[in-house]
Amino acid sequence: MAKLGCEDGIDDELWKPAAAHELKPYAPAGKDHNGCRTTWIRGGGKVSKEEERNHCHACIMQHLATHADAKTLRNGISFIIDVSGKDMEKEPKVGNETLIQSFYQAIPQRPQVILIAGTSRVTRAFVNASIKLASLFLKQKILDRITFVSVEDAKKRLPLKSAPVYVGGNGGGIENYQEWVKGRLEMLQMPDL
């Protein structure tokens, strides 16, 4: 985290107002059919060098908020990345992509399903190559959970009320994602040390 501007790590203040704007890739979504939270990301965006610290804090806030209930913490999440409308080949490189990806991989996820929605043939080839590389380090059961789907198919994997608003759902009833994250973080109990 030090290389991303977070040399002081994580402190007692889980909610970081300065980082809240970096929650923008996360589409508000509700629970899956098993009653566990869903993380739905509108992928393909880049993180500017100036926003690395805020982006890290936002990712940690989102992760903790999503896992703030016992059922999701115990059973895992549905993890959906929507890359529709993104041409990864044409996106200009920032130079920190590998570092950001390493940070993402360090966040402990328990995905029960990983859906990559809206991929083109070129994007699918790129992701498949990444998966082959990752297979050296990941268990087969994780790789078996990755499925390429259309955005419509991803939406059908959730109750309609849980799907993000931009795909025709109700966003899990979440009107303001920043306030939802803040509220979920406040639910977490801090141990007395």
Residue 191 forms part of a structural domain: no
Residue 33 forms part of a structural domain: yes
Residue 193 forms part of a structural domain: no
Residue 21 forms part of a structural domain: yes
Residue 16 forms part of a structural domain: yes
The CATH number given to whatever domain includes residue 114 is: 3.40.525.10
| Residue 57 contacts residue 22 (beta carbons within 8 Å) | yes
139, β-bridge pairs? none
- Cα 107 to chain centroid distance, Å, stands at 10
| Residue 52 contacts residue 94 (beta carbons within 8 Å) | no
Residue 125 forms part of a structural domain: yes
Using 50, 70 and 90 to split pLDDT, how confident is the model at 88?
A: low
Q: Which amino acid is at 169?
A: G
- pLDDT confidence of residue 122: 73
* Residue with the two structure tokens 């899990």: 172
Q: Phi and psi dihedrals of 38, rounded to 5? A: -120, 135
Domain extent, residue 36, equals 2-186
The total number of structural domains that make up the chain:
1
Using 50, 70 and 90 to split pLDDT, how confident is the model at 120?
A: confident
Closest CA to 41 of 88, 91, 79, 75: 79
Using 50, 70 and 90 to split pLDDT, how confident is the model at 45?
A: confident
Residue 192 forms part of a structural domain: no
Q: What is the 3-state secondary structure (H, E, C) of the chain?
A: CHHHCCCCCCCCCCCCHHHHHHHCCEECCCECCCCCEEEEEECCCCCCHHHHHHHHHHHHHHHHHHCCCHHHHHHCEEEEEECCCCCCCCCCCCCCHHHHHHHHHHCCCCEEEEEEECCCHHHHHHHHHHHHHHCCCCCHHHHHCEEEECHHHHHHCCCHHHCCHHHCCCHHHCCCHHHHHHHHHHHCCCCCC
Most confident of 4-8, 55-59, 140-144: 55-59
Residue 26 forms part of a structural domain: yes
- pLDDT confidence of residue 136: 65
Mean pLDDT of 123-127: 71
| Residue 61 contacts residue 19 (beta carbons within 8 Å) | yes
